[in-house]
Amino acid sequence: MTTQTNSSSGSCCGSGDAVDVQGVGLTTTYRVTGMTCGHCESSVSQEISALDGVTAVKAVAKTGEVTVTSAAPLDEDAVRAAVDEAGYELVGRA
């Protein structure tokens, strides 16, 4: 499987940009503060999953990272609102 970055630096690591994975869609990783357990992960995942175009969400409380796969780029304000609704804070892209 190949992965392409949308980063102008050409680096595949740590750019925080959306990544297009063959046949899957765009994957973007966000930093979220306040998650401490599986319930937190579930709450954040559920709210983000409700956004149009989202096909997968994986939240990891230990790292504070939320990886979102979507059919098209997501509006960051919409992601922020979903995270806020779950009771947490979106810091930005990882």
Could you please report the per-residue DSSP string of the chain? --EEE--TT--SSS----EEETTTEEEEEEEEES--SHHHHHHHHHHHHTSTTEEEEEEETTTTEEEEEESSPPPHHHHHHHHHHHT-EEEEE-
Instruction: For residues 71-92, give the mean pLDDT.
Output: 97
Instruction: Write the pLDDT tens digit of every residue in 28-79.
Output: 999 999 999 999 999 999 999 999 999 999 999 999 999 999 999 999 999 9
Residue with more model confidence, 79 or 24? 79
What amino acid occupies position 59? A
Q: Does pLDDT of 16 surpass 70?
A: no
Q: Indicate the pTM of the whole model.
A: 0.75
Q: How far apart are CA 21 and CA 58, in angstroms?
A: 16
